Chains A and B, each alone.
Chain A
Amino acid sequence: MRIRKKGKIRLAALFAAALILLTGCSGCAGFQNLGKEAGGSSAKITEDGIQDGDTVIPRGRYLETVIDLSEQISGYKEALYRMEDGSLLIIDQNTDSFLRSRDNGTTWETDKRAWWTQLLDEKRYILDIAIGRDDTVAVIYDTSEDAEELQSVLEIIRPDGTKIPAELSLSEEDNCPWRVWIDGNGRVFAGTLSPAVYEIKEDGSGEKFLFMEEGIPEQIIFNGKYMLIDGYGYNGPQIYDLEAETFITDEVLAEFVQKNYPNRDTNGGSWYNLLYFPGEEEEIIYLAGEKGLYRHVIGGSAIEQIIDGSLCTFGNPAYSLQGMVLLDNQEFLTLFGNKRLVHFTYDPDVPTVPTASIKAYSLKENDFLRMAISGYQSKNPEVYVEYEVGMEQGSSMTREDALKKLNMEILAGTGPDLLILDGMPADSYQEKGLLLDLSTFVEELTGEEALFSNIIDAFRDEEGLYMLPCLVELPALLVEDEYAKGADSLSGLADIMEAQRIKHPEGLLVRPCSPKGIMKLFTKYSEPGWLTEKRELNRENLADYLEQTRRIYEAQMKGATEEDIRSYEAMNQRYLEYAGCLYEESDYFGTGVDALNYLMYDNAFSIGTVYYPYEYAELISVPRVENHENVRLFPLKGQDGILFEGKTLAGINAASKNREETFDLLKELLSKENGILSEKLPINRAALEENLQPNPDYYTSDEEPYAYLSFGDSEGFSYTFEIYWPTEREKQELITWMESASVPCVNNQRLEEAVYEEGSLYLRNKRSLEDTLDAIAGKVALYMAE
């Protein structure tokens, strides 16, 4: 009996020890090494995959090679075709000759066609063009002499050069031909602004072929007897059997498309969210989109993933899909919108899924990070970057829920390697030792990798550099020269508002019409001074902010009509319906300095942030507008210098077991290439300089407009604004501005909320200043005490 008892005790002790061990180990996870690399010491390649001990790692994956066509194509409205003889053809609607390749896209030569060159020389607007496998071309272009009314014609050009003008008897609803498609046998089909599809006969006559109940067709492809049609608002692609002359149902395909690509956009045929193209056999079609490449047999029960979008360029939001063809040997060639061709070839020896992984995290979807991941993934096919978004678009996850989940992962030792700290308690993370000191990493970035040191230094403290922004926005004020001092202080702005109200007794002087909107617009000026160094409320600075914003609010509301207020509230409501929050609570509020609004409505000034070079071009073009010659763009200054807002704030988890890979990903994030793709204001100096270069297709000289910005409303009011690309001097001024920005804008959400909520009563004159300050102090007391 005693022996049995002892045995039980031992068993229990062993069990408890095992439990403790298991529980202890559960928090040790970090680097997920999914397997060893091919060719590693213990791994060997077998027929089934890579043998690593008892585990077989599946092998075989498409890898990509990028072909740069930036010297040959414009990057706008292009299409890629595979011809009967196996050659490839690119039609670029901005280039006066076609491009042909006879070596699967490696090299390209011009394929001049006189009629095409003539069309472009005559500056005809091309609505659409298509080419058949036999070289038959169908083109729709505008013949009108002025821009008022579109007069589009459709012409068919046979391989021998014969031109056949198409004669379509269109209904009023059809309006005009605007899309054209050619099947594998040279049959030409045209789409109009109605859901009808016309077939163009040999003699050029056309007759109605199909009427699509679902709406206007946007994309049509052919494979043998099948015609696949898709468009905006379609539940899924429709498949028409050309032989049986009937539609066939493919629920598997429809369900897949609805689930994965519910909002398919073709942007008038210039790029595609989801591109269909024919496969090697009649029943096979391919689907390409941000999630990768898929193969489907029409009527089949499965959709097979061929290429995982998250492992290659497909997942890069900066690369818009323009065309894709299947080559011999099951290779693929994809034409992306930024003048890049990507050749996908199958490598049977590479593991199907990368053998190592790192994890990147951001609270909201971050395109800049996604671009960097895609770039990194292309260069490092052996490492998988798992990207987790805390608050996926459309999900009900709140910021707090997402942060709790993240913190739980950090606590469990499974936290991300790279963090985008926007919207996160970055200071707490730094204070708690979560973030790694990046000082040495930054020192090594030289040459094309060099960053604006002043921006970096603004984030450096005595202990080191724990986070750094990848992009910046520059708070700025667009105002007449005489009011320049407004850029230096909030009271200066209040003076301008009051002066302008005397000049313009009616109408809006700035955009927002609510106390919160007004306060929020001017927070950047003052927020760094709301707390003392001891993190106590600075009542004096806060009182000044409230007093000045009240002056601004009163000046605004003195002349604001009921219609102005209603219109502002309607805009807030529209945002609430579509974005789930009011306009003044959205991320877009205060982003951008609205030059068009300033000019159209004679605003007192325009305030916001300059966040990309094109917007800078808009702003420096304002003085070229008649009667606005003395308007200037001024950098906003805080108490300690020129302000800037750091965006895509990156940090590395100090507990990361994959530092080397994470540093490489961060390097990619800060790279010149990624900065250029963003088209914004990156802190990579070389990228910013490149982004300040105009697109040569639109730029002629400093004296000629680069673009036009037009506005028109239903009441007949219209306004057109000519935009000039910055001159060398103006470009240098922006770079100097970047170099001198030294004070990062503070964003203390808790404090802001309290100030807006309580301050609104003060601005509406429903409470005294002292009471408002007391209320704010009461509201933030708990937060401060924590």
Chain B
Amino acid sequence: MSRGKEEAVRKYFWRFMLPSFLGVMVFSVLPFLDMVKRSFTTAVTGSFCGLDNYRLVFTNQAFGMAVINTLSFAAAAIPLLVAAGLLLALPLSRLKSGGLIKALYLFPYAMPTATVALVWKMFLKGRGLPELLAAYLWKNTGYTLILWLAGIWGFPGELIEAAKVDGAGIWQRLWKVVLPNLKGTLYTILILSFLNIFKIYREAYLVAGAYPDSRIYMLQHLFNNWFLHLEFDKMAAAAVCVSGFLLVFILLLLHLWDKD
């Protein structure tokens, strides 16, 4: 690339990046820094209290329970979601035009939370973990399917044709050709699914209230209840911890990906 072209690319790179960078700074980074500050102060008076809030959070039984529940739910829901999405995407990817089917699968995702809660109440009697898992899968599978389809349609068909010519069977083509090429998609799906775990709180809240069955008591329940009781200090400390965990998780995932 010539020096002039390089310069032009750099110029346009910043012009395109600046608005979103500023958006992230103003609406995410600065509030996060404010939250970090608040995690070391008292809720209303704002006096410095050292690590007291962190100590309170780590000795809080509800926080421990919410963390375990959220992680357990993620551990159960994400593999199921990823697998379900892929299993549906593979046959659908052979269709030349699957617009209507895709739209149907996306339908639950587009539904308002209140409607999802209503559907849950209508069709599922319980208010526990299996029902929450079903609601999560019902709502998110379509979205995951679309991501898988985008990944599948995105890599060159010649690779599969070449594998066929080399005598690879259907399973070999799947394991040796398709899946390794969908690593990038899988990474996106994992991150988005994990973030969606936090969003399922809305349905759980509408169905079972602020204090649901203890197995579906998630971090968002705790944060919501703390917010109502003006426990901003504990909330800030817990949010910093959760953010730290998420950062480590994402970096770890990235590291594992890069390693491969």
| Residue among A20, A23, A434, A779 with max Cβ neighbours from chain B (10 Å) | A23
Q: Does any Cβ of A come within 8 Å of B62's Cβ?
A: yes
A403 at the interface (CB under 8 A from B): yes
A434 touches B44 (CB 8 A): yes
One digit per residue, 1 when the CB lies within 8 angstroms of any chain B CB and 0 when it does not, for chain A 156-196 equals 00000000000000000000000000000000000000000
* A residues 116-131 touching B (CB-CB < 8 Å): none
Q: Residue A499 at the B interface, CB < 8 A?
A: no
Contacts of A20 in B (CB 8 A): 30
Interface residue B198 (Cβ < 8 Å from any Cβ of A) = no
Interface presence of B36 (CB below 8 A)? no
Stretch from A375-383, A404-412, A502-510 contacting the other chain: A404-412
A428 touches which of B25, B26, B229 (Cβ 8 Å): B229
Interface size, chain A (Cβ < 8 Å): 27
Q: Does A655 contact B (CB under 8 A)?
A: yes
The residues in A between 760 and 786 inclusive whose CB is less than 8 angstroms from any CB of B are 778-783, 785-786
Asked if B230 CB lies within 8 Å of chain A CBs, one says: yes
Residue B226 CB within 8 A of the other chain: yes
- Whether A19 pairs with B43 at a CB distance below 8 angstroms is no
Q: Check if B228 sits within 8 Å of A425, measured CB to CB.
A: yes
CA gap between A750 and B210 in the complex, in Å: 10
Cα–Cα, bound, A217→B26 (Å): 61
With a CB–CB cut-off of 8 A, which chain B residues contact A233?
none
Q: How far is the CB of B218 from chain A (nearest CB, A)?
A: 11
A433 touches B222 (CB 8 A): no
Asked if A16 is an interface residue, CB under 8 A from chain B, the answer is yes
Asked if B65 is at the interface (CB within 8 A of a chain A CB), the reply is yes
A785 to B65, CA, bound (A): 9
Give Cα A38–Cα B15 distance, bound, in whole angstroms. Answer: 51
B45 at the binding interface (Cβ < 8 Å): yes
Q: Is residue B201 within 8 Å, beta carbon to beta carbon, of the partner chain?
A: no
Contact A433 B42, beta carbon cutoff 8 Å: yes
Taking CB atoms, residues of chain B closer than 8 Å to A221 are: none
* B62 neighbours in A (Cβ, 8 Å): 782, 785-786
Give the chain B neighbours of A433 by CB distance below 8 A.
42-45
Among residues 37 to 63 in chain B, which have CB atoms less than 8 Å away from a CB atom of chain A? 42-45, 60-62
The distance from the CB of A613 to the nearest CB of chain B, in whole angstroms, is 37
What residues of A have a CB within 8 angstroms of the CB of B222 in the complex? 786
In the complex, the chain B residue whose C-beta lies closest to that of A399 is B228
User: Among the interface residues A20, A404, A432, which one has the most CB atoms of the partner chain B within 10 A?
Assistant: A432
- Closest A residue, CB atoms, query B42: A433
Per the bound structure, the CA–CA distance linking A750 and B22 in Å amounts to: 43
B interface residues, tally (CB under 8 Å): 30
CB-based contact B232/A782 at 8 Å: no
Mark out the residues of chain B between 187 and 243 whose CB falls within 8 Å of any chain A CB in the assembled complex.
Answer: 210-211, 214, 217, 221-222, 224-233
A565 within 8 A of B: no
Give A702 to B79 CA distance when docked, in angstroms: 81
A779 to B230 alpha-carbon distance, docked (Å):
22
Contacts of B31 in A (CB 8 A): 23
Q: How far, in Å, is A161 (CB) from chain B's closest CB? A: 71
A49 to B201, CA, bound (A): 54
Q: How long is the Cα–Cα vector from A706 to B45 in the complex, in angstroms?
A: 54
User: Is there an interface contact between B44 and A655, defined as CB atoms closer than 8 Å?
Assistant: yes
Residues of B within 8 A of A400 (CB): 210, 224, 228
**Binary B-proximity of A406-439 (CB < 8 A = 1, otherwise 0):** 0100110000000000000100110011100000
The answer to whether B214 touches A428, judged by C-beta atoms less than 8 angstroms apart, is no
A458 within 8 Å of B (CB atoms): no
Q: Is the CB of B211 within 8 A of A779?
A: yes
Residues of A within 8 A of B230 (CB): 407, 410, 425, 428-429, 432, 434
Residue of B25, B62, B224, B229 most packed against chain A (CB within 10 A): B229
Indicate if the CB atoms of A786 and B225 lie closer than 8 Å.
Answer: yes
CA distance A428 to B225 in the complex (A): 12
Looking at A407, A429, A782, the one whose CB has the most chain B CB atoms below 10 A away is A782
| Chain B, 47-101, CB within 8 A of any chain A CB | 60-62, 65
The answer to whether B60 and A407 have CB atoms under 8 Å apart is: no
Q: How far is the CB of A17 from chain B (nearest CB, A)?
A: 12
B101 to chain A, nearest CB (A): 37
Q: How far is the CA of A425 from the CA of B225 in the complex (A)?
A: 11
Q: Which residues of B contact A (CB under 8 A)?
A: 22, 25-26, 30-31, 34, 42-45, 60-62, 65, 210-211, 214, 217, 221-222, 224-233
- Minimum-distance CB pairs A-B, first 4: A785-B61, A785-B62, A428-B229, A786-B62
A-side residues, CB < 8 A to B, are 16, 19-20, 23, 400, 403-404, 407, 410-411, 425, 428-429, 432-434, 654-655, 750, 778-783, 785-786
Instruction: Pick 18 A–B contacts, CB within 8 A, sort by A.
Output: A19-B26, A23-B26, A400-B210, A407-B227, A410-B230, A425-B230, A429-B230, A432-B44, A432-B233, A434-B230, A750-B211, A778-B214, A782-B214, A782-B217, A786-B60, A786-B222, A786-B226, A786-B229
